[in-house]
């Protein structure tokens, strides 16, 4: 037995030695250049952590009663906290309501006048007039002018709602599942937050409205445009936030895009607005709007990264230093040419 082991060892030893000889030698690297390159390739999260951001600083914000949620006895839209929402609310209150009330009252008064003025007792011999060109022109031109007045701000609002996001906008991918939401942040490490509805006991303990509160929220920075890429994994859902005048369908196999910008910090609630199955009514949306610093802390607390513009000039300087270290001295360059 020992003889066989010795023979196998003698056979394998030359192969092992040849393999070791085939290994390339470790390159000699200048320590200063190596540290410069490592600092250039360091992720942005290291720079942001060194800047004082602390993941432990994030705590879920408490909602403000009556803000971003329905109110008891409400007969109007929710108070709006986006530019498009404020414009749409103004169109409704300043144009649509007066027009509807005015037209309705005018028709009602006209109806009563016709009933009283042209009753049988006042007109025993009815008129046989069939046409009145002047009246027909009036009831055609006036409604056209009214529609034009309404169309100008309405079309402007429609175009404003679907303007493309700026290049530096934060991107959030929203995915509708049966029956919960998923929020991915491709610009910040591509992590996903899964959001399910809280039970009645959990919502009460957190001071949030039941059937609107979720365990994990979609978090965005205040006052900045956010490009939402909305899709679905199974059936058609609809992502809606009434206080931001935002609603867009989530369709399987398709990505719909729309910009969301909320101009006040707070917690805003919504719901799936497309009948999507048995638990459609238990698929709430909770959006938390934070300052940029708190938003960055939230990113780090969830394992994400923070994009840092300050790291780019540093990387450029490091690249310049690296390039100068590889240049040949004049004598070496002449020797290489010869």
Question: How would DSSP label each residue in 47-82?
Answer: HHHHTT--GGG--PPPPPTTSSS--TT--SPPPP-S
In this predicted model, which residue has the larger pLDDT, 242 or 98? 242
Say which residues have a Cβ less than 8 Å from residue 261's Cβ, sequence separation at least 6: 82, 83, 223, 224, 225, 226, 244
| pLDDT tier at 52, thresholds 50, 70, 90 | low
Q: CA 289 to CA 68: how far, in whole Å?
A: 11
pLDDT of residue 54: 64
Q: Which two tokens stand for residue 45?
A: 């999260």
- Express as a percent the part of the chain with pLDDT over 90: 55
Q: CA 211 to CA 199: how far, in whole Å?
A: 8
Give the helix, strand, coil percentages of the chain, each rounded to 5.
45, 20, 35
pLDDT of residue 336: 45
pLDDT of residue 332: 47
Edge-to-edge strand list for the sheet holding 266-272: 218-221, 284-290, 266-272, 237-241, 246-250
Q: Which of 125-139, 217-231, 266-280 has the lowest mean pLDDT?
A: 125-139
Residue range 290-326, pLDDT digits in tens: 999 999 999 999 989 998 654 444 433 434 333 433 3
In this predicted model, which residue has the larger pLDDT, 1 or 57? 57
Residue range 74-89, pLDDT digits in tens: 888 999 999 999 999 9
pLDDT of residue 124: 84
| pLDDT tier at 46, thresholds 50, 70, 90 | very low
pLDDT of residue 94: 87
Query: What average pLDDT does range 150-159 have in this prediction?
Result: 90
pLDDT of residue 285: 97
Contact between residue 44 and residue 306 where contact means Cβ atoms under 8 Å apart: yes
End-to-end CA distance of the chain: 64
In this predicted model, which residue has the larger pLDDT, 158 or 337? 158
Q: Helix or strand or coil: residue 264?
A: coil
Does position 14 have pLDDT exceeding 70, yes or no?
Answer: no
Does position 36 have pLDDT exceeding 80, yes or no?
Answer: no
Q: CA 270 to CA 65: how far, in whole Å?
A: 15
pLDDT of residue 271: 96
Phi first, then psi, for residue 101 (nearest 5°) are -65, -45
| pLDDT tier at 100, thresholds 50, 70, 90 | confident
* Ranges of H-type helices in 131-243: 133-161, 200-206
For the chain, the average pLDDT equals 80
- Express as a percent the part of the chain with pLDDT over 70: 75
Q: CA 187 to CA 190: how far, in whole Å?
A: 6
């Amino acid at each position: 037995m020992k003889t066989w082991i010795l023979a196998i060892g003698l056979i394998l030893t030359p192969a092992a030695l040849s393999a070791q000889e085939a290994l390339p030698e470790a390159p000699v690297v200048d320590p200063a250049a190596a540290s410069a390159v490592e600092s250039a390739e360091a992720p942005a999260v290291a720079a942001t952590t060194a800047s004082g951001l602390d993941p432990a600083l994030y705590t879920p914000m408490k909602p403000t009663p009556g803000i971003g949620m329905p109110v008891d006895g409400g007969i109007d839209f929710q108070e709006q906290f986006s530019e498009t929402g404020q414009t749409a609310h103004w169109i409704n209150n300043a144009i649509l309501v007066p027009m509807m009330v005015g037209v309705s009252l005018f028709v009602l008064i006209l109806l009563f006048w016709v009933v009283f003025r042209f009753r049988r007792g006042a007109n025993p011999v009815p008129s046989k007039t069939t046409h009145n060109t002047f009246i027909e022109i009036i009831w055609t031109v006036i409604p056209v002018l009214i529609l034009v007045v309404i169309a100008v701000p309405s079309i402007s609002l429609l175009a404003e709602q679907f303007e493309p996001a700026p290049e530096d906008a934060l991107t959030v991918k929203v995915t509708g599942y049966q029956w919960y939401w998923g929020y991915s942040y491709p610009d910040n490490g591509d992590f996903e937050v899964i959001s399910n509805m809280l039970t009645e006991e959990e919502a009460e303990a957190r001071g949030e409205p039941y059937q609107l509160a979720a365990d994990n929220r979609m978090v965005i920075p205040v006052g900045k445009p956010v490009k939402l890429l909305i899709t679905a994994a199974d059936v058609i859902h609809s992502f809606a936030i009434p206080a931001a005048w935002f609603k867009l369908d989530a369709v399987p196999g398709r990505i719909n895009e729309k910009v969301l910008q909320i101009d006040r910090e707070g917690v805003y609630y919504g719901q799936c607005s497309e009948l999507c199955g048995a638990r459609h009514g238990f698929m709430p949306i909770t959006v938390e709007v934070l300052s940029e610093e708190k938003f960055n802390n939230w990113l780090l607390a969830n394992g994400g990264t923070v994009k840092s513009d300050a790291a780019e000039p540093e990387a450029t300087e490091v690249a310049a230093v690296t390039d100068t270290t590889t240049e040949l001295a004049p004598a070496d360059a002449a020797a290489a040419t010869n």
